Amino acid sequence: MAFPITVSGRELIDSKQVLLSANDDITVSIEGMTLRFVFENDNNVNGSSYRGNVEGNTFTMSLINFKSSLGEGVLTPLEIGQLNGKRLLISFYVTTMSTQERRFEYNLFSGDKVSD
């Protein structure tokens, strides 16, 4: 039995928690598209940040200095593309242990129809 979930009009289409070792990246395949999360450390940057890059059908999100044991991430869904004529959005949260192992959680949403 399915129990559809909506948040502020966005349909939750996938939600996962993934446990990672220190050097792991994450790849999510979504109907011919690829979403990659890559962890980077940059001692020249204070705090944490993220940036996205699109190449072909792959959207890569670089998560820079995500080191907090209390957790950090983006809870307000970010638009990352389109799926079946609707906006594709993601929110995520990362908790990093002292050994640099991580718990990565994400919610993938289908949003409003894309205007022509």
CB-based contacts of 104, cutoff 8 Å, min separation 6: 17, 18, 19, 20, 26, 37, 92, 93, 94
Q: Is the pTM of this model over 0.85?
A: yes
Q: In this structure, are residues 6 and 58 in contact, taking their beta carbons and an 8 Å threshold?
A: no
In a domain, 95, yes or no: yes
In a domain, 5, yes or no: no
Q: What is the model's pLDDT at position 51?
A: 93
Range of the domain at 84: 12-109
Q: What is the model's pLDDT at position 59?
A: 94
In a domain, 39, yes or no: yes
Q: What is the model's pLDDT at position 116?
A: 60
In a domain, 84, yes or no: yes
Q: What is the model's pLDDT at position 55?
A: 93
Per-residue pLDDT of the chain (116 residues; tens, 9 = 90+): 888 999 999 999 999 999 999 889 999 999 889 999 999 999 998 999 999 999 999 999 999 999 999 999 999 999 998 989 999 999 999 999 988 899 999 999 999 998 86
